[in-house]
Amino acid sequence: MLDDRDHTLLTLLQEDADRPIADLAARVALSPSACSRRIQRLEAEGHIARRVVLLDRARMNLPTTIFVLVKTSRHSPGWMEEFRSALATVPEIVEVHRLTGNVDYILKVVLPNVEYYDTVYKRLVSRVELFEMSAYISMETLKAGTALPTRFA
């Protein structure tokens, strides 16, 4: 069971995983060693899945986001595995969600420019049969983040 200190630590670590232990400890009123042990426990329990570096998309020349809606007429386990394998070969596809409703999947694709989408499209359709694909260019990001809420009202 997570307590208030755990929630605060998780929130702080999501903001900056490189924050010094002394700073974290001060923020949750613990000694640095007790704070370190608590973080190790949160990792061991799986609350902290991993620590990563977030890259600046503009500096990495990937400013364009395209969302692709995919419909398929196939839903067999074999086809789904083929689809997962095809997705894994295209690094520009950074997220994929299976949906309810009249669209089966939504893909988030990051690219250097809109024209590059054709390259990604050809790579994907050469590996897996899809019924219909519709691409939507993101004009502006209104909210983006990686932090999860740690408390609920």
pLDDT band at residue 3 under the 50/70/90 scheme: very high
The domain tally of the chain equals 2
pLDDT of residue 148: 94
Question: What is the CA angle 99-103-109, rounded to 5?
Answer: 75
The CATH number that applies at residue 108 is 3.30.70.920
Q: Are residues 74 and 31 in the same domain?
A: no
For the chain, state the CA radius of gyration. Answer: 20
pLDDT digits over 129-144, tens only?
999 999 999 999 999 9
pLDDT digits over 25-45, tens only?
999 999 999 999 999 999 999
Q: Are residues 99 and 128 in the same domain?
A: yes
Q: Are residues 19 and 77 in the same domain?
A: no
Structural domain for 124, as ranges: 64-137
Distances (CA, A) of 49 to 40, 41, 45: 12, 12, 9
Domain annotation covers residue 55: no
pTM of the full structure: 0.89
Q: Are residues 39 and 71 in the same domain?
A: no
pLDDT band at residue 57 under the 50/70/90 scheme: very high
Domain annotation covers residue 131: yes
